[in-house]
Amino acid sequence: MIGFVTTMDDKDNWSYYIKNFLVISRAKIQLGTPPHPLLGLILGATTISQFLSSISIVYILLYFLLITFACNVNCLYDVHIDEKYKQHMSSAVRNLGKDNVKKIIILEVIAILGLASFLVMRGYYITAVLSLSGLLFGYIYSAEPIRIKGRGFFSPFPVLIGLYTLPILGGWFIFQSSLSLHIIIFCIGYALLNEGITLVNTCEDYKEDMEEDIQTWAHILSMKKTMRIAFFFTTFGGLVAIIGVILKPIQLGWTFYSIYSSVIFIILGIINTLMILRIGGNIYEAGRKEDLELSCKEAAKNMPKWFISSRYPLLVMALLPLFQF
């Protein structure tokens, strides 16, 4: 999708517009995001059949509309910056036309409000409110006049809350009516884990953001301190998230049918721990280099791999206990 070439003939077929839409929706990055809603649903469900119910599909669809909306808004309001640093993004906006992108965003909002209304009618009030909160966070993160992404200390919070916390809680409240210890612990750990990896990207964009007068933690705290925080968030948060997954069957008093399933669960816990420690170690080493700007840009290339290798093993580990009944 990145770097595709278009001609005038391309504009006569739907593939031209679909390709551009996928670019402004960051389709490749979205491949790593399904665990966000799925983990909330899985941790909230008590049986595999409950998890596989039709309401789960509705919630997952709502999530992808929300994240696509946030990506589209970001591309629209960052087009002047992307002209310099991410030309494939700005080109996609131009190819679609700014007015058309705005129309797409409006249609996404209508669809999101429609699904949120459906949740309200079905009695999922908390999930509906959390989804609308996610809609708000997705907008104010990039859009003027608020544009929190450039507001210094507050810049990470829309992502930390809107992307890494609310989707988990929204899925949880599909099946549960109140918070439990293991979901609180998991949410804290999972949000820190993902934000830690995201801070590497914050450091990667240090120079570009400074030229555009965008203030982030890297500018306020320095790149070195931000990378240290990234290491701590990733390592500590990842281990806490694993503990949250382990606590669910323990807290509910579940037992595994066989020694084999319990061994698999333990092995998955060890794999997750090793993955987290490895990612944290890579971030720590990147933050020690003398040329931090270069090392952060090199490290940021691994972010898609880090997200996938930290999220999906957690997903598999969380799913296993649902088969024990």
Q: Is the pLDDT of residue 41 over 80?
A: yes
Nearest to 162 by CA among 244, 70, 85, 96: 70
244, 183 Cβ separation under 8 angstroms: yes
Q: State pLDDT tens for residues 42-91.
A: 999 999 999 999 999 999 999 999 999 999 999 999 888 777 777 888 89
Q: State pLDDT tens for residues 260-275.
A: 788 889 999 999 999 9
**Residue extents of the structural domains in the chain:** 40-177, 180-325
Output the pLDDT for position 324: 66
Q: State pLDDT tens for residues 209-247.
A: 788 778 889 999 999 999 999 999 999 999 999 999 999
pLDDT, mean of residues 7-31 = 79
CA 183 to chain centre: 17
Question: Encoding tokens for residue 183?
Answer: 């979901």
320, 261 Cβ separation under 8 angstroms: yes
Question: Encoding tokens for residue 30?
Answer: 């979205």
CA 257 to chain centre: 34
Output the pLDDT for position 87: 81
